[in-house]
């Protein structure tokens, strides 16, 4: 027998079979590439959240160690939020609230009221470490309660 193809022999690939194979491989490659990209984004976000959490805890500890300042302002506790966390994070003050000690037994953000009625020895300090990339929304908010030494 000679080495030529016989009309009924199906030992080779047709153009249609080759195109279907290339299309299936292309779809599989796109799915795999998408999964790898999603995993990278998720791990990057988790890393940024862990970093924000670490900085927020550091600042909270430093804030707790500072002496209590009656009717404090942000500038009185600013040293606790140093050094700056650096990119992609920043630290922001939220508020300092003063225990009113009255019948309502709540906190007030009015410093002038604290000065007028006297400091009752308890403050609630709020700050946040947040990502500079707004599309990801990384924010770690901390609340530290400071008490005057008795």
Task: Give per-residue pLDDT as tens, 68-95.
Answer: 999 999 999 999 988 988 888 889 999 9
105-113 contact pairs (CB < 8 A, 24+) = 111/71, 111/73
- Taking the C-alpha atoms of residue 111 and residue 105, their distance in angstroms, rounded to an integer, is 16
List, in sequence order, every residue forming a beta bridge with 97; answer none if it has no partner: 124
pLDDT in tens, 3-25: 555 666 666 778 898 899 999 99
- What is the percent of the chain where pLDDT is above 70? 89
Comparing 136 with 124, the larger pLDDT belongs to 124
Confidence at residue 38, expressed as pLDDT on a 0 to 100 scale: 79
- What is the percent of the chain where pLDDT is above 90? 43
The first and second tokens of residue 111, run together, are: 């410093």
- Taking the C-alpha atoms of residue 15 and residue 4, their distance in angstroms, rounded to an integer, is 19
Select from 60, 37, 44, 26 the least CA-distant residue to 133: 44
């Amino acid at each position: 027998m000679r080495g030529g193809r016989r009309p009924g022999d199906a030992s080779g690939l047709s153009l249609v079979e080759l195109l279907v194979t290339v299309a299936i491989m292309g779809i599989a490659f796109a799915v795999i590439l998408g999964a790898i990209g999603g995993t990278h984004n998720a791990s990057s976000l988790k890393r940024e959240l862990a970093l924000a959490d670490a900085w927020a805890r550091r600042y909270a500890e430093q804030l707790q160690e500072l002496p209590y300042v009656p009717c404090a302002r942000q500038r009185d506790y600013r040293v606790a939020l140093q050094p700056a966390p650096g990119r992609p994070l920043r630290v922001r003050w939220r508020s300092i609230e003063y225990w009113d000690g009255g019948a309502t037994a709540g906190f007030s953000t009015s410093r002038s009221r604290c000065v007028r009625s006297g400091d009752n020895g308890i403050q609630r300090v709020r700050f946040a470490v947040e990502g500079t990339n707004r599309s990801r929304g990384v924010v770690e908010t901390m609340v530290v309660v400071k008490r005057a030494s008795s």
